[in-house]
Structure 1
Amino acid sequence: MTISVTIDSCAWNFFFDNEYDLCVELPPERFSLFITREVELELDQIPDQSQGVDKRPLKDYIRTSIQLRNVETSCFFGFSEANVPGEPARYGGFGQGTFESDIERDWRQREETQRFLRSSTKRASTVLGPNEADVSLAVASLSSVLITVDQKKGAKLGKKGPIHDAAINGGRVVYTEDFKSSGLTLADFIEKRFVEPSGAS
Protein backbone atom coordinates (compact mmCIF):
# COMPACT_ATOMS: atom_id res chain seq x y z
CA MET A 1 0.00 0.00 0.00
CA THR A 2 1.35 3.43 -0.97
CA ILE A 3 1.49 6.57 1.16
CA SER A 4 -0.89 9.31 0.02
CA VAL A 5 0.89 12.66 -0.48
CA THR A 6 -0.78 15.98 -1.34
CA ILE A 7 1.35 18.76 -2.85
CA ASP A 8 0.76 22.45 -2.09
CA SER A 9 1.11 24.88 -5.01
CA CYS A 10 4.14 26.57 -3.37
CA ALA A 11 5.86 23.18 -3.07
CA TRP A 12 5.94 22.97 -6.87
CA ASN A 13 8.21 26.04 -6.90
CA PHE A 14 10.46 24.28 -4.39
CA PHE A 15 10.57 21.12 -6.53
CA PHE A 16 11.31 23.17 -9.64
CA ASP A 17 14.06 25.25 -8.00
CA ASN A 18 15.72 22.07 -6.71
CA GLU A 19 15.26 20.24 -10.04
CA TYR A 20 13.41 17.34 -8.45
CA ASP A 21 12.37 14.37 -10.52
CA LEU A 22 9.28 13.22 -8.63
CA CYS A 23 9.62 9.70 -10.03
CA VAL A 24 12.89 9.54 -8.06
CA GLU A 25 12.07 11.71 -5.03
CA LEU A 26 8.66 10.14 -4.40
CA PRO A 27 8.73 6.81 -6.27
CA PRO A 28 5.34 5.47 -7.42
CA GLU A 29 5.78 2.12 -5.72
CA ARG A 30 5.91 3.95 -2.35
CA PHE A 31 3.78 7.09 -2.84
CA SER A 32 0.52 8.16 -4.51
CA LEU A 33 0.55 11.88 -5.35
CA PHE A 34 -2.35 14.33 -5.35
CA ILE A 35 -3.22 17.99 -5.67
CA THR A 36 -6.51 19.39 -4.44
CA ARG A 37 -8.92 20.88 -6.96
CA GLU A 38 -8.23 24.30 -5.44
CA VAL A 39 -4.48 23.90 -5.97
CA GLU A 40 -5.17 22.78 -9.55
CA LEU A 41 -7.00 26.09 -10.06
CA GLU A 42 -4.04 28.00 -8.58
CA LEU A 43 -1.59 26.21 -10.86
CA ASP A 44 -3.79 26.90 -13.89
CA GLN A 45 -3.58 30.63 -13.11
CA ILE A 46 0.23 30.88 -13.10
CA PRO A 47 0.98 33.60 -15.70
CA ASP A 48 3.61 33.24 -18.42
CA GLN A 49 5.38 36.31 -16.99
CA SER A 50 5.38 37.73 -13.47
CA GLN A 51 7.38 40.79 -12.38
CA GLY A 52 9.74 40.33 -15.31
CA VAL A 53 10.30 36.62 -14.60
CA ASP A 54 9.55 34.03 -17.27
CA LYS A 55 7.25 31.49 -15.59
CA ARG A 56 6.91 29.22 -18.61
CA PRO A 57 9.70 26.81 -17.53
CA LEU A 58 7.95 26.40 -14.15
CA LYS A 59 4.61 25.78 -15.85
CA ASP A 60 6.19 23.23 -18.21
CA TYR A 61 7.86 21.49 -15.27
CA ILE A 62 4.59 21.25 -13.34
CA ARG A 63 2.63 20.02 -16.37
CA THR A 64 5.27 17.41 -17.27
CA SER A 65 5.70 16.23 -13.67
CA ILE A 66 1.95 15.81 -13.21
CA GLN A 67 1.77 13.71 -16.39
CA LEU A 68 4.89 11.60 -15.83
CA ARG A 69 4.24 10.98 -12.14
CA ASN A 70 0.47 10.50 -12.57
CA VAL A 71 -0.46 13.17 -10.00
CA GLU A 72 -4.22 13.01 -9.47
CA THR A 73 -6.57 15.86 -8.62
CA SER A 74 -8.59 15.18 -5.48
CA CYS A 75 -11.97 16.72 -4.80
CA PHE A 76 -14.99 15.88 -2.73
CA PHE A 77 -18.15 14.43 -4.20
CA GLY A 78 -20.97 16.86 -4.85
CA PHE A 79 -23.72 17.39 -7.38
CA SER A 80 -23.38 20.27 -9.84
CA GLU A 81 -25.70 22.40 -7.67
CA ALA A 82 -22.95 22.49 -4.99
CA ASN A 83 -20.68 24.44 -7.32
CA VAL A 84 -20.98 28.24 -7.54
CA PRO A 85 -22.55 29.26 -10.89
CA GLY A 86 -20.07 31.00 -13.21
CA GLU A 87 -17.01 29.75 -11.28
CA PRO A 88 -14.79 26.70 -11.86
CA ALA A 89 -16.21 23.56 -10.25
CA ARG A 90 -14.84 22.59 -6.83
CA TYR A 91 -16.84 19.38 -6.41
CA GLY A 92 -16.65 16.23 -8.52
CA GLY A 93 -19.45 13.94 -9.60
CA PHE A 94 -19.65 10.15 -9.75
CA GLY A 95 -16.26 8.61 -10.53
CA GLN A 96 -14.48 11.90 -9.77
CA GLY A 97 -15.10 13.09 -6.23
CA THR A 98 -14.59 11.13 -3.03
CA PHE A 99 -16.92 11.22 -0.07
CA GLU A 100 -15.86 13.56 2.71
CA SER A 101 -15.27 11.76 6.00
CA ASP A 102 -16.92 12.91 9.22
CA ILE A 103 -13.54 14.20 10.46
CA GLU A 104 -12.92 16.16 7.26
CA ARG A 105 -16.46 17.60 7.22
CA ASP A 106 -16.26 18.56 10.90
CA TRP A 107 -12.88 20.23 10.33
CA ARG A 108 -14.16 22.23 7.36
CA GLN A 109 -17.28 23.34 9.26
CA ARG A 110 -15.63 24.24 12.57
CA GLU A 111 -15.69 27.92 13.52
CA GLU A 112 -11.89 28.33 13.38
CA THR A 113 -11.80 27.06 9.79
CA GLN A 114 -14.72 29.24 8.76
CA ARG A 115 -12.93 32.23 10.30
CA PHE A 116 -9.98 31.63 7.97
CA LEU A 117 -12.35 31.68 4.99
CA ARG A 118 -13.84 35.00 6.09
CA SER A 119 -10.58 36.60 7.25
CA SER A 120 -9.49 38.48 4.13
CA THR A 121 -10.74 39.76 0.82
CA LYS A 122 -10.56 37.84 -2.43
CA ARG A 123 -7.69 38.89 -4.69
CA ALA A 124 -8.68 40.01 -8.19
CA SER A 125 -6.01 37.74 -9.72
CA THR A 126 -7.59 34.50 -8.51
CA VAL A 127 -10.89 32.66 -8.84
CA LEU A 128 -10.47 31.33 -5.30
CA GLY A 129 -11.85 32.83 -2.13
CA PRO A 130 -9.63 33.90 0.78
CA ASN A 131 -7.67 30.95 2.22
CA GLU A 132 -9.77 28.56 0.11
CA ALA A 133 -6.79 26.60 -1.21
CA ASP A 134 -5.10 26.48 2.20
CA VAL A 135 -8.28 25.17 3.84
CA SER A 136 -8.53 22.44 1.20
CA LEU A 137 -4.91 21.50 1.96
CA ALA A 138 -5.46 21.58 5.72
CA VAL A 139 -8.40 19.20 5.30
CA ALA A 140 -6.33 16.98 2.98
CA SER A 141 -3.61 16.72 5.65
CA LEU A 142 -6.05 14.82 7.88
CA SER A 143 -5.92 11.81 5.53
CA SER A 144 -2.81 12.47 3.42
CA VAL A 145 0.71 13.77 4.02
CA LEU A 146 0.85 17.41 2.89
CA ILE A 147 4.07 18.91 1.49
CA THR A 148 4.21 22.69 1.78
CA VAL A 149 6.56 25.66 1.99
CA ASP A 150 3.86 27.61 3.94
CA GLN A 151 5.73 30.64 5.25
CA LYS A 152 2.96 31.31 7.78
CA LYS A 153 4.44 28.68 10.07
CA GLY A 154 6.81 31.30 11.51
CA ALA A 155 4.27 34.14 11.52
CA LYS A 156 2.76 35.81 14.58
CA LEU A 157 -0.01 33.81 16.24
CA GLY A 158 -2.87 35.82 14.73
CA LYS A 159 -1.38 35.55 11.22
CA LYS A 160 -0.88 31.79 11.12
CA GLY A 161 -3.16 30.11 8.63
CA PRO A 162 -5.18 26.92 8.13
CA ILE A 163 -2.17 24.73 7.32
CA HIS A 164 -0.38 25.61 10.55
CA ASP A 165 -3.67 25.12 12.41
CA ALA A 166 -3.98 21.63 10.92
CA ALA A 167 -0.32 20.80 11.64
CA ILE A 168 -0.71 21.43 15.36
CA ASN A 169 -4.09 19.67 15.52
CA GLY A 170 -3.38 16.27 14.00
CA GLY A 171 -2.70 17.11 10.34
CA ARG A 172 0.27 15.39 8.71
CA VAL A 173 2.27 18.33 7.37
CA VAL A 174 5.81 18.29 5.94
CA TYR A 175 7.40 21.73 5.78
CA THR A 176 10.14 21.83 3.14
CA GLU A 177 12.51 23.68 5.50
CA ASP A 178 12.21 20.85 8.07
CA PHE A 179 12.85 18.21 5.43
CA LYS A 180 15.85 20.09 3.97
CA SER A 181 17.49 20.48 7.38
CA SER A 182 16.98 16.79 8.24
CA GLY A 183 19.61 15.48 5.83
CA LEU A 184 17.16 12.79 4.69
CA THR A 185 15.66 12.27 1.26
CA LEU A 186 12.09 13.52 0.97
CA ALA A 187 10.77 9.94 0.75
CA ASP A 188 12.72 8.81 3.82
CA PHE A 189 11.69 11.91 5.79
CA ILE A 190 8.00 11.22 5.14
CA GLU A 191 8.30 7.54 5.98
CA LYS A 192 10.33 8.16 9.14
CA ARG A 193 7.90 10.81 10.40
CA PHE A 194 4.54 9.41 9.41
CA VAL A 195 4.78 5.65 8.92
CA GLU A 196 4.36 3.42 11.94
CA PRO A 197 6.75 0.45 12.42
CA SER A 198 3.88 -1.85 11.38
CA GLY A 199 3.83 -0.11 8.00
CA ALA A 200 0.61 1.85 8.55
CA SER A 201 0.64 5.57 7.84
Structure 2
Amino acid sequence: MENISDKVLKLKSIIESKRDTWTLKEFQNFYHNVDVNKDINENEKELLAKTCGQIIEEKFPKRQSKKILGDKGVEGKELMEKINNIVTKEFDWSNNDVDTKVKNGGDMISGRTAVCYYISYKGKKSKINSGFHYRQKTVASDPYLEVDFRKVGTEEKETKIFPVALRDEALELYRSYLSKIIE
Protein backbone atom coordinates (compact mmCIF):
# COMPACT_ATOMS: atom_id res chain seq x y z
CA MET A 1 0.00 0.00 0.00
CA GLU A 2 1.29 3.40 -0.96
CA ASN A 3 0.45 6.98 -0.06
CA ILE A 4 0.16 6.59 3.72
CA SER A 5 0.79 9.96 5.38
CA ASP A 6 2.70 10.45 8.62
CA LYS A 7 -0.53 11.76 10.15
CA VAL A 8 -2.31 8.47 9.43
CA LEU A 9 0.62 6.39 10.67
CA LYS A 10 0.37 8.39 13.91
CA LEU A 11 -3.39 7.69 14.06
CA LYS A 12 -2.65 3.98 13.62
CA SER A 13 -0.22 4.16 16.57
CA ILE A 14 -2.86 5.95 18.65
CA ILE A 15 -5.44 3.25 17.87
CA GLU A 16 -2.98 0.54 18.81
CA SER A 17 -2.01 2.34 22.04
CA LYS A 18 -5.69 2.55 23.06
CA ARG A 19 -6.20 -1.20 22.59
CA ASP A 20 -6.50 -1.83 26.33
CA THR A 21 -8.33 1.34 27.37
CA TRP A 22 -10.96 2.11 24.73
CA THR A 23 -14.43 0.60 24.72
CA LEU A 24 -16.01 -0.99 21.68
CA LYS A 25 -18.06 2.18 21.15
CA GLU A 26 -14.92 4.32 21.21
CA PHE A 27 -13.31 2.18 18.50
CA GLN A 28 -16.50 2.42 16.44
CA ASN A 29 -16.70 6.20 16.86
CA PHE A 30 -13.04 6.61 15.97
CA TYR A 31 -13.50 4.56 12.84
CA HIS A 32 -16.64 6.50 11.86
CA ASN A 33 -14.74 9.79 12.19
CA VAL A 34 -11.95 8.44 9.99
CA ASP A 35 -14.42 7.10 7.45
CA VAL A 36 -16.11 10.48 6.94
CA ASN A 37 -12.85 12.46 6.92
CA LYS A 38 -12.26 13.90 3.44
CA ASP A 39 -8.54 14.45 4.11
CA ILE A 40 -7.76 10.73 4.39
CA ASN A 41 -7.30 8.77 1.16
CA GLU A 42 -8.68 5.30 0.43
CA ASN A 43 -5.44 3.49 1.27
CA GLU A 44 -5.26 5.27 4.61
CA LYS A 45 -8.89 4.48 5.42
CA GLU A 46 -8.27 0.83 4.57
CA LEU A 47 -5.22 0.70 6.85
CA LEU A 48 -7.13 2.25 9.77
CA ALA A 49 -10.20 0.03 9.18
CA LYS A 50 -8.00 -3.06 9.20
CA THR A 51 -6.35 -1.94 12.44
CA CYS A 52 -9.70 -1.22 14.15
CA GLY A 53 -11.20 -4.49 12.90
CA GLN A 54 -8.28 -6.56 14.18
CA ILE A 55 -8.44 -4.94 17.61
CA ILE A 56 -12.21 -5.43 17.85
CA GLU A 57 -11.83 -9.12 16.94
CA GLU A 58 -8.98 -9.66 19.41
CA LYS A 59 -10.05 -7.51 22.36
CA PHE A 60 -13.77 -7.97 22.65
CA PRO A 61 -15.60 -11.18 23.47
CA LYS A 62 -16.62 -13.29 20.50
CA ARG A 63 -20.22 -12.25 20.89
CA GLN A 64 -19.43 -8.54 20.61
CA SER A 65 -16.96 -8.85 17.74
CA LYS A 66 -19.35 -11.06 15.81
CA LYS A 67 -22.08 -8.50 16.38
CA ILE A 68 -19.93 -5.87 14.67
CA LEU A 69 -17.80 -7.85 12.21
CA GLY A 70 -19.89 -10.63 11.18
CA ASP A 71 -21.26 -14.12 12.01
CA LYS A 72 -24.56 -12.92 10.66
CA GLY A 73 -22.80 -12.26 7.38
CA VAL A 74 -21.43 -15.73 6.69
CA GLU A 75 -23.46 -16.02 3.48
CA GLY A 76 -22.22 -12.62 2.32
CA LYS A 77 -18.60 -13.35 3.09
CA GLU A 78 -18.79 -16.69 1.27
CA LEU A 79 -20.37 -15.05 -1.78
CA MET A 80 -17.72 -12.33 -1.83
CA GLU A 81 -14.97 -14.97 -1.55
CA LYS A 82 -16.43 -16.71 -4.63
CA ILE A 83 -16.61 -13.43 -6.56
CA ASN A 84 -13.06 -12.56 -5.51
CA ASN A 85 -11.79 -15.98 -6.68
CA ILE A 86 -13.46 -15.51 -10.07
CA VAL A 87 -12.21 -12.00 -10.80
CA THR A 88 -8.68 -12.55 -9.48
CA LYS A 89 -8.33 -15.47 -11.91
CA GLU A 90 -9.76 -13.50 -14.84
CA PHE A 91 -7.82 -10.25 -14.33
CA ASP A 92 -4.26 -9.26 -13.41
CA TRP A 93 -4.48 -7.70 -9.93
CA SER A 94 -0.73 -7.10 -9.56
CA ASN A 95 -1.19 -3.32 -9.90
CA ASN A 96 -3.99 -3.14 -7.33
CA ASP A 97 -3.10 -0.40 -4.85
CA VAL A 98 -5.36 -1.81 -2.10
CA ASP A 99 -5.50 -5.28 -0.55
CA THR A 100 -6.73 -7.92 -2.98
CA LYS A 101 -9.03 -9.81 -0.65
CA VAL A 102 -12.51 -9.70 0.86
CA LYS A 103 -12.57 -6.91 3.43
CA ASN A 104 -14.92 -5.86 6.22
CA GLY A 105 -16.74 -2.69 5.22
CA GLY A 106 -16.30 0.44 7.28
CA ASP A 107 -20.06 0.75 7.76
CA MET A 108 -20.07 -2.63 9.49
CA ILE A 109 -17.05 -1.81 11.65
CA SER A 110 -18.60 1.47 12.77
CA GLY A 111 -21.97 -0.19 13.44
CA ARG A 112 -23.97 1.74 10.82
CA THR A 113 -24.71 -1.42 8.81
CA ALA A 114 -25.31 -5.00 9.94
CA VAL A 115 -23.26 -6.64 7.18
CA CYS A 116 -20.81 -5.24 4.64
CA TYR A 117 -18.09 -7.15 2.83
CA TYR A 118 -16.37 -5.93 -0.29
CA ILE A 119 -13.57 -6.29 -2.78
CA SER A 120 -12.06 -3.39 -4.67
CA TYR A 121 -9.50 -2.51 -7.28
CA LYS A 122 -7.66 0.79 -7.42
CA GLY A 123 -4.98 1.22 -10.05
CA LYS A 124 -1.60 2.31 -8.72
CA LYS A 125 -1.30 4.99 -11.41
CA SER A 126 -4.92 5.89 -12.05
CA LYS A 127 -7.25 7.56 -9.61
CA ILE A 128 -10.05 5.16 -10.54
CA ASN A 129 -11.54 2.65 -8.13
CA SER A 130 -14.18 -0.02 -8.57
CA GLY A 131 -15.79 -2.01 -5.79
CA PHE A 132 -18.17 -4.93 -5.41
CA HIS A 133 -20.06 -4.92 -2.09
CA TYR A 134 -22.39 -7.27 -0.24
CA ARG A 135 -24.53 -5.16 2.10
CA GLN A 136 -27.32 -5.71 4.59
CA LYS A 137 -28.56 -2.61 6.43
CA THR A 138 -30.10 -4.49 9.38
CA VAL A 139 -30.23 -8.13 10.41
CA ALA A 140 -33.94 -8.12 9.48
CA SER A 141 -33.52 -6.51 6.03
CA ASP A 142 -32.72 -8.24 2.75
CA PRO A 143 -29.09 -8.17 1.65
CA TYR A 144 -28.14 -6.63 -1.68
CA LEU A 145 -25.13 -6.19 -3.93
CA GLU A 146 -23.64 -2.86 -4.89
CA VAL A 147 -21.15 -2.26 -7.69
CA ASP A 148 -19.43 1.09 -8.00
CA PHE A 149 -17.00 2.87 -10.28
CA ARG A 150 -15.49 6.16 -9.21
CA LYS A 151 -12.71 8.64 -9.62
CA VAL A 152 -10.98 8.88 -6.25
CA GLY A 153 -10.92 12.36 -4.77
CA THR A 154 -13.89 13.57 -6.83
CA GLU A 155 -17.66 13.38 -6.59
CA GLU A 156 -17.78 11.33 -9.82
CA LYS A 157 -19.28 7.97 -8.96
CA GLU A 158 -21.52 5.41 -10.63
CA THR A 159 -23.32 2.99 -8.33
CA LYS A 160 -25.72 0.22 -9.24
CA ILE A 161 -27.62 -1.92 -6.73
CA PHE A 162 -28.74 -5.51 -7.40
CA PRO A 163 -30.74 -8.03 -5.41
CA VAL A 164 -28.49 -10.96 -4.42
CA ALA A 165 -30.47 -13.18 -6.82
CA LEU A 166 -29.01 -11.11 -9.70
CA ARG A 167 -25.40 -11.68 -8.68
CA ASP A 168 -24.43 -12.80 -12.20
CA GLU A 169 -25.56 -9.42 -13.60
CA ALA A 170 -23.69 -7.60 -10.82
CA LEU A 171 -20.57 -9.64 -11.60
CA GLU A 172 -20.84 -8.79 -15.32
CA LEU A 173 -20.99 -5.07 -14.51
CA TYR A 174 -17.99 -5.39 -12.17
CA ARG A 175 -16.05 -7.23 -14.88
CA SER A 176 -16.83 -4.43 -17.33
CA TYR A 177 -15.53 -1.84 -14.84
CA LEU A 178 -12.40 -3.88 -14.15
CA SER A 179 -11.68 -4.21 -17.86
CA LYS A 180 -11.71 -0.39 -18.08
CA ILE A 181 -9.25 0.23 -15.25
CA ILE A 182 -6.85 -2.69 -14.93
CA GLU A 183 -3.48 -1.58 -16.24
**TM-score, normalisation: structure 2:** 0.30
Q: Which has the higher contact order (CA 8 A, sep 6+)?
A: 1
